[in-house]
Structures are given as structure tokens and as C-alpha cells.
């Protein structure tokens, strides 16, 4: 049976407190953190003492504006350490270096050579990119988060299945750890995007959230009670390969009628090709075609309107399934397709989902585009490393446990 | 942000301990409960003292078989009180009276008059049934759980939407409380079946579980980390009205292509009608047709085999969606259709789901029939009342809080 240990609860509270400080985007008092998190003032005080002790938070001046006793203001200490986020996509690897305030300091964009897509090729490329952005700051890196496409076992670090390059059961963590001299945290892009929203996006405001990733691959991350839901082997959220149309279009996974075959970037391109086989918008690269569709959409060409309308309908029906099954507070859409076509697709998808889903859960849910700028996958990957650092027993074990024990009685 | 209060944790631990005693189906020692629940011996001791104090558990003899110090054996005290479970189905209301060991003492089966399906008619029928099974034991009833079809708000007690009789926003709790002199706990059959599995069925062994209800209506209950997942307005699990076939068969909800229109009892009957419009198996009542199909299946008629094969395929594709989205440990199938056709449907559904779902989550999941005998909905409804009693602050507040405070420091 399930139960939380005292350590789990402390780590969870530590996350909540730090999330509140990030959300304040400036400074925030202990009292405001208690209000934002629902935690007791004593618990918040403990967590903050611990986070100051290890250098993650700093006190910065006092706010006496309220007229009462001046309250110490807390900020994240950006210089406490560095985090790296890696996004392995089909055509390129993106690597970003963040300070602890999650500001991007340096980036590298490394195209994937289509003739060099064996696991060791990618591991070499990543090692190269990480070394490039870290430079001379090797000692200051707290961890490196890596988003690996497909199904990933974070504990074993095995890429169970990667759809782009037919990887199967690849011990990718081991391969990376031989090349990258930092602590490694592996998971997939769905989980990365979701963790990014949880810490820095829509998850700030709601505890029951679905994060929809729409790029070449599509899928969801499920947030239950403020935590990422992983399922028994970390593959929960593989919405992209659920059936939208029985016996429908062939999907690159080999099955037929998958959601991804209609609302992923290649699926949208295929719909355009069906409607207008000679369209000048059809480019060699799917991402360019999606961008061209977005530009053309404002001119109102019939074929483009048809593509967006059909795709919006596919999306609406698929989203209705998520609304009925999960009854979430918010569904947030992000990544390539959402960036280019998001608001246009959502207009149709909202109307179709309103018809297809039950009215009660539909009326409870907000469908909106991600407010995260830049790449949510690199940000989320770096957040894996942040979470790993915050869960580190060596750093937090002694200080935290000693102080917390004094006041932990509920 | 989400966090558990000390009271939540205590209630959760109380549930876990009592679930372990039920699972033992006889007697069990404190040490065995600690092993089964993963809770500390001290916590288990506290919970048991509390449950003995209020009369829910009793010590019964000592087991000295292990050769060491004899260990006190714990049993549920069946005579501590009575629980009532009510299942409102389309054609009848079933009412069962349970003792605290969840043994059925008395039952009532009350047909619904098709010309009297207004909310007050059903409330009258339920009041009649409850009075009949309770008899002279009014004072001993701890609570009455009622399964209302459709979307139900347990707090407000409003039946938001009931598909059988076009109820909308009915204040059913108020209507019942004017007629039934007991504490009331309302929810729907999906939640009832799931809570029954959680306490007395498949949930004893696994914490990540999907409970599929297959009768006239179909839907799922989702167990995450050992708790029922409700969504933001308690409608999570409405799988029956997710789209299986875009623009497919008309569903009684008014939409097209819903899962329920293919794997619910009326959907299976319609498939039979499509394949063999003059089949002698077609009866006036869908439940009778399903039973006739089950009987005929062993003779191997072509039409019957086709119905089961097609339905198994529909079920397999729909189940693959659940496997990919939730990555659960176990999916358990129960109620009318599962009772009659379950193993036959599962044979095909397993094969189809193995093709449609990703192999990793498919290989992790066990698909099986419910082992609960009799009606899981009345049992689950009675369990709502059991949970309500166990969460009661008057009964558990004083004793529990005082004792727990002594040793609750983590």
C-alpha cells in the first residue's frame, strides 16, 4: 500500500516553497509563501532556512510597505550553480545552460547527421554540446537533464524505445555517463514539457493539468495533485498512439489511425498533401511546411483553411477523450505545432470538444496555449536536474532532517 | 498547491490498516499489518488502538504458532454497525444491508416502474427499500451509500446528469435526506465499483489500477497511488463516451461512435442485430440477450462468434487507449457484460490490445475479470458509507488525534 515517508513530504514541501519563489518572479515574503502554498508558517520557515543554508535562496532587503513589522524578502540565488537541459529531437540536439534563476546563459544547436543516428553518435553529440555550453564552469554544474525521445526508464536510464531511429533497450545513461562528467537525469520530451509547465507555466496555478506536446511526435503529460503521473513504468501519457480513427491513416509507429498521424507535424503535412498535392507550401522539412501554413492562414486560401479546420476537428475529438477521462482543470498546448497554428487550431478544437465531451467536464476545463517562451523541452530537462539536486540527500539530508525534526510534528 | 494534512495522512493510514485486516479474511497480527501496509509498527499500533477503541476491530486470541511471543490476532467486529448499499440501475433499484465484515444480511430488488422515473419516484423507491432491509435496526446503521447513474457531485449530492431519465441538476441528496433517516453518501456506479475493488478486490494487490464497468453504461474508475482519482468535478473516468469510431454509430448520449455504443450491453445487442437481424437470441431485455449470447457461445454458431469477435476487437482498441494513457498495473473488468461474456471478450481484446498498445506498457499490465461476487455496485456504495464513517471526526477525532499526537513526529 502507498504511503508517503517523512522524507517524501519534506521534499514535496521544499519543491512547493521554491515553486512559489519562482512564481513571484522577484521577491516574496515567508508569509506570502505560506499563503501561496497552503503550508503552515512553521513548515515554510523550516524549508526556507534549509534552502538559505544550502545557498539556493537568499534574503534580499525587507518590505516595510505594509506598515507593520518589515518582512524579509526571499529571492532565488542565481549564482548557486548551473543546470543544463538537453533536447534530443529528430533533426537536431539543443543544449542550454541555465543559472539557478532558470535564465538561459548559453545555447548550442547541433544538427543531427542523418547518417549518424546510432546511440553512440548521439551520445557523442550531446557530450560535445554540453562541453560547449559549460565551458570552464565544469565544477559549478549541479546536473544535466536530457530529454530522450520515446519511452525512457529514468531509474535504469534505458531508452526502452525511440521511434525516430529504431532504438530498443539502449543503456543510454551509461553511454552518456562515460562522456559527460555531471550528474545525469533522463526522461522524455512529454515529461520534460510537463515539468516545465509544473514549475514555470500553467502548473503554477492549477494542480490538475494536462500538458499536450504537439510537434513531430505528440503526447501528453498528466499532472495529478500537483505531481507528474508516470504510471507503473513511466510511459503514461502516450496519447499520440491512441486510436482516433479505427483502421485510419498509417502512423509511423506501424499502427493505423493514431492521434499523432493526424495532429503531429507530419500528419498535418499529409492532410495538406491530400487536400492540395501541388501546394507550394509543401517544403522538404515538415517544420517549414507548418510555418508556411501559419503564414498563409491569414490570407484565407481555401486549402489552408481546410487543413486547419480538419486538423482542429481531429484535435477537438482527441481532446474530448482527455476531458472525459481526466476531468482536468486546464489543458495547455505547446511546442512547434502549437506555436505556429495554436490559436487557429484551438478555435475549432474548442467547438468540437464542446460537442464531443460531456458538458460538465468541458465547462470546467480551460484550453490554452503554453505561455512558456523558447523551448519547453530544454527548460524541462534542466528542471529534471533541478529536482534531482533538490532531492539530493547529501545536500539536504543533514541540514534538513535535523531542523525539520524539531518541528515536524503535525 | 497540494499538500496532505496530518488528518489526511491519519485517515489514509486508518484505511490502509483496515484494508489489510479485510484482506486477511480471518485474523492478522499487528506485525503482519505493518508488513502488508509498509507502515511503521508504531503507526500501525496507534491506528489499531484507535480502531479497537471505537469498536471496529477486536482482538481475538493469540497466535503462538511461530514459537515466539504470542501475537494478538485482529478481526473486524461485524456487529459494530450496519451499512447499506444502494444501486440505482435503469430497470431496478438494488438495496443491500451489510454488517461491518461486509457480509450481506438482507437484500431488496425493486423494479423501476418505467412510468415513474422522476427523481421523487426514485427517492421514494429507495426510501422504501432501505426501510425494508434495515427493519428494526435503524439505530445501528452507520450510513447509506447510494450509487446514482451519471455525473454526481458527492459534496453537493446533486445528480448533475443522469442518462437514463434525462435528469439534470437534481438535488438528489436533499430529496433522499427528507426520506431516509441515515447519513447519506452519493456517487456513481463507476466510482462504486472502483471503491469495491480498492477495498475488497484487485486493489488489495496493486496501487495503479483501472476498473472497467461493463453493463448498459460503461466507464472506468482510475486508481492512482491507491486512491480513487476523481478529477476536478468528480467526472474523471467517463471513458464510455470517448470516441472509438469517428462519425460512427449513434450513441444514446446523442453523439456518434462512443465506446459505449459498441461495448455496452445495448451496443452488443445492436451488433448482433446488424449481423443477424432475425436471431432468436434477441430478447426484449438487453440483459437477457447478453445472457443468451453467453449460452449460445459454447455451441459455436457463426453469428454469435462474429458478435463476440467484433465486440472483443472494439474492446481491445479502447483498452489500448487506457493502457497507453495510464500505464496501469492491472485493468479489471466487471459487471453484467463481463460476468456473461468476459473471458471470451478478453481473449480477443488482449490480442488486439497487444497490437494497438505500445509493447512496454502492454507487457506491464494484467487484464482480468473482477473476482468480486454478487453486485460490486451495492458493495461499493456501502463502502462509501464505510469510508464516511471512518472519516467521521466525532468518532475518530478525539481518540485518534490525542493518541496519534504522541507519536506522529516523522
The pLDDT assigned to A332 comes to 97
The grid cell for B17 is: 490498516
Res B65: pLDDT: 61
Average pLDDT, chain B: 90
Choose among B395, B392, B384: nearest CA to B55: B395
CB burial of A12-36 (b: ≥16 within 10 Å; e: otherwise) equals bbbbbbbbbbbbbeebbbbebbbeb
Question: Shortest Cα distance from B26 to chain A (angstroms)?
Answer: 19
- Domains of chain B (ranges, CATH numbers): 6-76 (1.10.10.10), 80-193+377-390 (3.30.420.40), 202-369 (3.30.420.40)
DSSP string, A38-102: ---HHHHHHHHHHHHHTTSEEEEEEE-TTSSS-EEEEEE-GGG-EEEEEEE-SSEEEEEEEETT-
Predicted pLDDT at B110 = 97
Look at residue A9 in the predicted model and tell me its pLDDT.
83
- Give me the residue from B248, B324, B327 closest to A242, CB to CB: B324
Q: Which residues of B touch A327 (CB under 8 A)?
A: 230-238
| Contacting residues of B for A328, CB less than 8 Å apart | 231-232
DSSP B350-394: HHHHHHHS-HHHHHH-EEEE----S-HHHHHHHHHHHHHHHT-HH
Q: Is the pLDDT of residue B387 over 90?
A: yes
Residue A407: its pLDDT value, please?
A: 45
DSSP codes of every residue in A285-323: SHHHHHHHHHHHHTTT-HHHHHHHHHHHHHHHHHHHHHH
User: Is this structure's pTM higher than 0.95?
Assistant: no
Q: State how beta strands B57-63 and A218-224 pair.
A: unpaired
Instruction: Specify the 3-state DSSP secondary structure of A176.
Output: helix
Q: Pick from A4, A151, A409: which is nearest to B360 by CB?
A: A151
Contacting residues of B for A356, CB less than 8 Å apart? 243, 255
Distance from CA of A365 to the nearest CA of B (A): 9
Instruction: Taking residues B249-261, report their average pLDDT.
Output: 93
- Residue A297: what pLDDT? 86
Confidence band (pLDDT; 50, 70, 90) for B66?
low
| pLDDT mean over B377-396 | 92
Q: Do residues A32 and A75 lie in contact, with contact meaning Cβ atoms separated by under 8 Å?
A: no
- Average pLDDT across each block of 10 residues of chain A; the chain has 410 residues. List them in order: 68 91 90 92 94 94 63 92 95 96 96 92 97 97 94 73 78 94 95 95 88 94 90 93 92 92 96 95 93 87 92 97 96 94 95 94 96 89 96 73 45
**Closest-CA distance of chain B to residue A43, Å:** 12
Burial of residue B254, with CB atoms counted within 10 A of its CB: 0-12 exposed, 13-18 middle, 19 or more buried: exposed
What Cα–Cα distance (Å) separates residue A348 from each residue in A122, A152, A319, A360, B332? 39, 33, 12, 19, 36
For residue B152, pLDDT beyond 90: no
Q: Mean of the pLDDT values across residues B160-189?
A: 88
A229–B161 C-beta distance less than 8 A: no
Hey, are the CB atoms on A239 and B325 less than 8 Å from each other?
A: yes
First CA to last CA distance, chain B: 21
| Overall residue count recorded for chain A in this entry | 410
Cα radius of gyration (chain A): 22
Q: How far is residue A38's CA from residue A49's CA, in Å, rounded to a whole number?
A: 18
Name the residue with higher pLDDT: B70 or A165.
A165
Using the predicted structure, report yes or no on whether residue B325 has a pLDDT greater than 90.
Answer: yes
Q: Give the residue from chain A lying closest to B329, CA to CA.
A: A232
pLDDT of residue B1: 38
Q: Which residues of A touch B229 (CB under 8 A)?
A: 224
**Cα gap B343→B333, rounded to integer Å:** 10
Q: Give the separation between CA A172 and CA A93, rounded to whole angstroms.
A: 15
- DSSP code, position A243: B
Contact B237 A12 (CB under 8 A): no
pLDDT at A298: 80
How far, in Å, are A172, B79, B91 from residue B216 at the CA level?
Answer: 48, 36, 10
C-beta separation of B346 from B224 below 8 A: no
Closest residue, chain B, to A16 (C-alpha): B1
Q: How many CB pairs under 8 A join A and B?
A: 186
* pLDDT at B140 (0 to 100): 97
Q: Calculate mean pLDDT across residues B286-314.
A: 91
Looking at residue B271, its pLDDT comes to: 97
Nearest CA in chain A to B259: A321
Let me know: does A297 contact A283? Beta carbons within 8 Å.
no
Determine the distance in angstroms separating the CA of B248 from the nearest CA of chain A, rounded to an integer: 10
Distance from CA of B303 to the nearest CA of A (A): 22
Q: Cβ–Cβ of B235/A361 closer than 8 Å? A: yes
Cα–Cα nearest to B307, from B287, B289, B322, B284: B289
pLDDT in tens, B78-122: 999 999 999 998 889 999 999 999 999 999 999 999 999 999 999
Closest-CA residue of B relative to A256 is B356
Amino acid at each position: 500500500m502507498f504511503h508517503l515517508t517523512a522524507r517524501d513530504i519534506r521534499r514535496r514541501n521544499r519543491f512547493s516553497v521554491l515553486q512559489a519563489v519562482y512564481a513571484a518572479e522577484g521577491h516574496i515574503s515567508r508569509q506570502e509563501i505560506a499563503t501561496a502554498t497552503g503550508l503552515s508558517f512553521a513548515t515554510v520557515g523550516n524549508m526556507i532556512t534549509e534552502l538559505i543554508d544550502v545557498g539556493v535562496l537568499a534574503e534580499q532587503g525587507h518590505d516595510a510597505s505594509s506598515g507593520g513589522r518589515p518582512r524579509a524578502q526571499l529571492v532565488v540565488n542565481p549564482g548557486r550553480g548551473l543546470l543544463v537541459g538537453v533536447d534530443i529531437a529528430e533533426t537536431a540536439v539543443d543544449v542550454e545552460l541555465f543559472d539557478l534563476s532558470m535564465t538561459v546563459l548559453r545555447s548550442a544547436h547541433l544538427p543531427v547527421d542523418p547518417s549518424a543516428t546510432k546511440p553512440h553518435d548521439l551520445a557523442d553529440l550531446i557530450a560535445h554540446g554540453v562541453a560547449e555550453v559549460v565551458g570552464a564552469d565544469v565544477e559549478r554544474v549541479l546536473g544535466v537533464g536530457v530529454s530522450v525521445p520515446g519511452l525512457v526508464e529514468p531509474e535504469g536510464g534505458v531508452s526502452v524505445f525511440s521511434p525516430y531511429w529504431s532504438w530498443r533497450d539502449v543503456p543510454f545513461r551509461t553511454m552518456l555517463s562515460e562522456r559527460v562528467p555531471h550528474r545525469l537525469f533522463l526522461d522524455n520530451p512529454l515529461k520534460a514539457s510537463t515539468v516545465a509547465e509544473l514549475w514555470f507555466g500553467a502548473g503554477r496555478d492549477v494542480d490538475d493539468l494536462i500538458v499536450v506536446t504537439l510537434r513531430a511526435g505528440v503526447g501528453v503529460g498528466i499532472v495529478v495533485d500537483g505531481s507528474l503521473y508516470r504510471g507503473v513504468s513511466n510511459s503514461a501519457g502516450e496519447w499520440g498512439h491512441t486510436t482516433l480513427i479505427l483502421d485510419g491513416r498509417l502512423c509511423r509507429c506501424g499502427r493505423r489511425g493514431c492521434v499523432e498521424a493526424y495532429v503531429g507535424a507530419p500528419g498535418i503535412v499529409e492532410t495538406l498533401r491530400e487536400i492540395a498535392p501541388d501546394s507550394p507550401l509543401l517544403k522538404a522539412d515538415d517544420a517549414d511546411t507548418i510555418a508556411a501554413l501559419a503564414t498563409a492562414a491569414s490570407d484565407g486560401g481555401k486549402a489552408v483553411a481546410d487543413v486547419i479546420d480538419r486538423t482542429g476537428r481531429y484535435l477537438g475529438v482527441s481532446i474530448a477523450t482527455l476531458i472525459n477521462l481526466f476531468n482536468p482543470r486546464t489543458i495547455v498546448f505547446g511546442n512547434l505545432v502549437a506555436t505556429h497554428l495554436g490559436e487557429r487550431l484551438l478555435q475549432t478544437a474548442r467547438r468540437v470538444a464542446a460537442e464531443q465531451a460531456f458538458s460538465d467536464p468541458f465547462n470546467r476545463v480551460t484550453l490554452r496555449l503554453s505561455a512558456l517562451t523558447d523551448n519547453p523541452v530544454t527548460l524541462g530537462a534542466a528542471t529534471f536536474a533541478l529536482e534531482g539536486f533538490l532531492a539530493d540527500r547529501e545536500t539536504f539530508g543533514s541540514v534538513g532532517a535535523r531542523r525539520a525534526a524539531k518541528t515536524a510534528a503535525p
